[in-house]
Amino acid sequence: MDDKTQRERLEQELRFLKESFEADVISREEYEKGKDRIEKKLKEIKLVEKEQINEETKKEKPEKQEKIEETKDVEAIESKEGKKIKLNVIQDETFEEQQQEQIQVTEQKESPEAQEPKIEIKEDKNEGKFFKYAIVFIVLALIIFFSYSLLKPTKIIDFRGTENQTNVSEFDELTRISQDFLVNKKEAQEKIMPSKFVAACNSGDDCKQEGKIGICVAPGTKDAKCEFKVSKSNIVVLNDRKNCFNCDTQRVLGILESWLGAISVKEIDYNTEKGKELAEKFNAKMLPMYILDENITKKPSFEQIKQTIMKKDNSYILSEDAAGSTFYFKRDNIANKIELFVIAGDEAAIKAENNLKEFLDAFAEAKFEKHFSNDKLAQELGIKTFPTFLINNKVRFSGINSAETIKENFCRLNKLKECEKNLSKSLV
C-alpha cells in the first residue's frame, strides 16, 4: 500500500471516528485516543513524503547543472568559432577526468560496504549449519533413549505371586497390572457389599410429570416403569335445561378449558335425585353450577383463576358471575311476569324501556315491575349488570334487547295468544 492510499484511508478513518463521537457511539476518551493515534500516523507519512521530495530535488540539481554547462559550451562555440576545436578538446579531457575521479571515489566508498554483508552471510550460514546439526543430534539421542527404555526385558511380579519375564514394554505391563487390580478390587467389593437393587418406581408418587398423571407399572420389581396419562380436570355441571331457556354451558366450558387444559365434563340434571343432593350439598342458589375437582390446584393457571372460585369441602365452585348463571331454581314461578332492573337516569336504561314499551303494548296480560340497582331485590338476586330482565321470577337475561327478543324469551315460559305476533326486531 503506497503512502497516498494509506493517508486517504487514515483520513477516512478520522472522519468516521468523529461521526461516531458526534452520534454518541463512542466516548470522548475513546475519540481522543483514536484521534491521536491517526494524527501520529499521518505525521509519519508526511515526513516520509518530505524525505522523498528532498531526494528527488537532490537528483534534479546535477541534471540542471549539466544543462547549464551545456548551454555555456554552446554559447562559447557560437561566440568563438575560431577556438571551437580547442574548447571541445579541453572540455572532453576535463569531463573524462571528472568521470574517472567520480568512479574512483564511488569504488572507495562502496568497497567496504560491499565486503561487510558478504562476511555476515558467511557467519549466518555457519551458525545455521551448527544449529541444524545440534537439533539432529538431540532428536537422535531422544529416539535411542526411549527405544532402549521401552524394549528392554523387564522382570515383573504380579499380584498372584508368580514371576514373569517378558519382552513387552513397561507401558503395556503396567496397563495389564492396573486392570487386574481393578477387577480383583471390584470382585472383592461385590463379595463384601453386594449391590443394592433399586426399582424404577415403587408407587405412583415416584412418577411425576407436569400436566400428566403418573402410574407405576409393576412397582418395586426389575420391570417397574412409569406410565403417564394426560391429566384432565373433572367438572360436574348441575343444570336444568327443561325449565331454563338460556342455561347453555358451551361458552363457559370453553373458557375453563383454556384455563385448565384438558377437561372431563359430566352434566347432571337438577330434577334427578343426584342433582338435588348436589344442590343441597353445595348450597346452590342458581343454575348452571360448575363443580371442579381438587386437582385444579396443581394447574399452572390456578393462581390466575382462584379469585373466581370458592372452595367447598374437597371441591371448588365457580362463582355465579363467572359461571354466567341465569336460573333461580329455588324461587317460585309467577306466570306472565316480567321485571326490569336498571340504574336510575342511565342512558342504557332509557333505551331498554323504549324497546320494552312495544312489548308491553302488545301483551296486555303481562305483569310488569321496574326496579333500580340499589333496591333490596336487586341485591338479593345478586344482579350486578344493568339493564337486566327477570321472567316469571326465575329466569334472567341482560342487555338492551329488541321488542321481538323480549317477546321470544317471555313466550318460552308463558303461552299466550299474543306470542304469535311479530314485533320489531331492530332496536329503537
Cα–Cα–Cα angle for 130, 135, 138, nearest 5°?
Answer: 125
- pLDDT computed for residue 111 by the predictor: 43
Grouping H, G, I as helix, E, B as strand and the rest as coil, residue 342 is strand
pLDDT tens for the 428 residues of the chain, in order? 566 677 777 787 788 778 777 777 778 888 888 888 888 888 888 888 787 777 777 665 555 555 555 555 545 444 544 444 343 434 444 444 555 554 444 444 444 443 444 434 444 445 566 666 777 777 777 777 666 555 554 444 444 444 444 444 555 555 565 556 555 555 655 555 556 778 889 998 899 887 677 889 999 898 999 998 877 899 999 999 999 999 999 999 999 999 888 899 999 999 999 999 999 999 999 999 999 998 888 888 888 888 999 999 889 999 999 999 999 999 999 999 999 999 999 999 999 999 999 999 999 999 999 999 999 999 999 999 999 999 999 999 999 999 999 999 999 999 999 999 999 999 98
Q: For CA atoms 35, 40, 45, 47, give the dihedral sign.
A: positive
Query: Measured between alpha carbons, how far is 1 from 5 in angstroms, rounded to an integer?
Result: 6
* Cβ-contact 372, 342 below 8 angstroms: yes
Count CA within 13 A, CB hemisphere, residue 263. 22
What nine digits make up the cell of 418? Answer: 299474543
- pLDDT computed for residue 177 by the predictor: 54
- Domain ranges, ordered by start, for the chain: 3-78, 80-134, 200-230, 232-323, 337-420
Burial class (CB in 10 A: 0-12, 13-18, 19+), 19: exposed
- pLDDT computed for residue 403 by the predictor: 96
- Element spanning 34, H or E: helix 28-79
**Residue 129: how many other CB atoms lie within 10 Å:** 10
Residue owning grid cell 324501556: 353
- pLDDT computed for residue 47 by the predictor: 83
Q: Please, which contacts does 403-409 make with residues 24 or more away whose CB atoms are closer than 8 Å?
A: 403/355, 403/356, 403/358, 403/359, 403/362, 403/428, 406/338, 406/355, 406/356, 406/359, 407/359, 407/362, 407/363, 409/245, 409/246
Radius of gyration from C-alpha coordinates of the chain: 56
What nine digits make up the cell of 193? Answer: 457389599
**What CATH number was assigned to the domain covering residues 337-420?**
3.40.30.10
- pLDDT computed for residue 44 by the predictor: 83
Do the two domains 232-323 and 337-420 of this chain adopt the same fold?
A: yes
- pLDDT computed for residue 204 by the predictor: 84
**Residue 120: how many other CB atoms lie within 10 Å:** 10
For domain 232-323, the CATH class is alpha beta
Query: Measured between alpha carbons, how far is 417 from 364 in angstroms, rounded to an integer?
Result: 11
